[in-house]
Structure 1
Amino acid sequence: MTSRNKWWAKTLRIIGIVLMSLTAAFTIMGGAGTSCVALNPTGFGEKFAPIARVQWLYILFVLVTLAIGIMGVRAVVLLVRGTKNAYRYALIALALGILVGGGHMAASRLLRGSSMPVDMVVYTTLLTLIVFLLFRIPGIWVGVDFAKTATEKTGRQAAAIALGASGLLVLSIQFIMSPTHSIDGINYADVWHTSLTLVGTSLVLVGVARASAWKLVRLALAHNNKTSTA
């Protein structure tokens, strides 16, 4: 059995893909969430009012962060397929996320004395980057190597789990971010409740459907093999 076919290699590969998908989803939601104060900095009390002085900068943060989030989604697709440039593309997306997120944190702390909730997105991105860098340890990389095509089973499993995990994150984000998004008793992380519920539920259902479809394919193949050898 080659290193890539060992259980630990498959598990680490799936963990990496799931972490990347969660980071991408978190980044996109972070960019979308920042649009509220970027477009209306004086509409959320004195805490965010100083942003009005550099409103253009926060609009830029929104656009660039969304673009990086989309890069993250593409990185997940490449990792699942095991394309040659998948690992490098993921590292670039993560590095850009930390760079732009770090700038966002610095600007917010300078203007309003706090950078939450962007901190959580940056720390999540940093964690994922550290994990991906650890994958490059020779003894680990020989099994994980994202530059080599994954087995169909591993790719499908990773895609299904990533979709389900991202869906659960979207469904629960209003609760996770409530402490940093509640102003005057209003949880602004829940203002897009219907949209988040639809997107999150869809992702979970698609993930379950992919996992179920793969099981059906395996059962069909096993049945055909038994029939052909009978």
Structure 2
Amino acid sequence: MRNKWWAKLLRIVGIVFMSLTALFTLMGGAGTACVALNPTGFGGTFAGIAPFQWLWILFVLVGIAAGIMGVRAVVLLIKGMKHAYRDALIALLLGTVLNVVHLFASRALRGSSMPVDGVLYMNILTLVIFLLFRIPGVWQGVDYEKPAGGGQTGTYAAAIALAACGLLSLTIQFLMAPTHTIGGVNYADAWHATLTALGVALILAGLVTALHARRITVRRAALPEAAK
């Protein structure tokens, strides 16, 4: 069953969603640092959180930690390692709980919670997808704690995930512009050069990984049946 096309597709879909969620969570945590360190700046938009600056610093630290945990989980999922699924759920649950608290705190103290909403919804969506994978009939094919059966499914998943994260890095400043533009300045574009370099590097890494997987697949196909 693990060699079924739908099982391979679901494994890839899960890894891509987990990758995007991990990066989104990591960016959210790092991006919150601007407000956490200077709550009275930005035209006073975030002045309401100043008495709770410590809480926003905590959001930064836990957000970055959740993102890193997510990245680690992605690597384990790709390799089909033991506890990969468990670690992915832990990262998603941490990201969900963190952003629920962040959302309500933001709404209570400054009257708005965007862009936390987007990070929260992404964590919830990916969490739901992974919980659905545990449906017995589905899990027999997807089971992330075992290497993908045959082919280069994990490698192709890594390639697609790298490219998807690269696109997110290149476009995040535009996607977040509506909620990060204050006084005509798009603060989501503060790390333009860094995110551009990261995005290009991730896309190139994805392309190289895909070509590598394709080369291995072609070589295996050319081998005599007894040598495979």
User: Smaller-chain TM-score range?
Assistant: over 0.9
Q: Distance in 1 between matches of 2:12 and 2:106?
A: 35
Which secondary structure does the structure 2 equivalent of 1:42 belong to?
coil
Counterpart in the other structure of 2:166: 167
Amino acid paired to 1:185: G
Give CA-to-partner distance per residue, 1:102-156, whole Å, 9 cap, x none. Answer: 1111111110011110110000000000000011111111111112122450110
Distance in 2, Cα, partners of 1:224 & 1:120: 48
Residue 224 of structure 1 deviates from its aligned partner by 5.0
Unaligned 5+ segments in structure 1 are: none
**Equivalent residue for 2:154?**
155
8 Å CA contact 2:93–2:127 kept in 1: the answer is yes
Share of identical aligned residues, percent? 63
Asked if residue 47 in structure 1 is aligned to residue 45 in structure 2, the reply is yes
Cα distance between partner residues in 1 of 2:63 and 2:5: 35
What is the CA distance between 1:218 and its match in structure 2? 2.7
- In the other structure, the counterpart of 1:195 is 194
1:24 aligned partner, one-letter code: A
Q: Which amino acid aligns with 2:53?
A: Q
Q: Corresponding residue for 2:129?
A: 131
In structure 1, give the amino acid aligned to 2:193: T
Alignment of 1:35-184 (within 5 A): 35-151=33-149, 153-184=152-183
Quote the offset at 1:47 in angstroms: 1.7
Q: What is the CA distance between 1:223 and its match in structure 2?
A: 4.3
Q: Which runs of 5+ in 2 are unaligned?
A: none
Q: Give the SS at the match of 2:145.
A: coil
- Whether the 8 Å CA contact 2:43–2:183 is kept in 1: the answer is no
Residue matched to 2:14? 16
SS in 2 for 1:41: coil
CA shift for structure 1 position 51: 1.4
| Shift in CA distance, 150/224, structure 1 to aligned 2, threshold 3 Å | closer
Which residue number in structure 2 is paired with residue 5 of structure 1?
Answer: 3
Count residues with an aligned counterpart. 225
Kindly provide the amino acid, as one letter, of the partner of residue 23 in structure 1: T
The CA distance in 2 between the partners of 1:60 and 1:9, in whole Å, is: 39
CA RMSD of aligned residues (A): 1.4
Q: Given the superposition, is the C-alpha separation of residues 221 and 148 from structure 1 closer, same or farther in structure 2, using an over 3 Å criterion?
A: closer
Deviations 1:71-103 (A, max 9, x none): 000000000011120111101110011111111
Quote the offset at 1:221 in angstroms. Answer: 3.7
CA separation of 1:160/1:130 partners in 2, compared to 1, >3 Å: closer, same or farther?
Answer: same
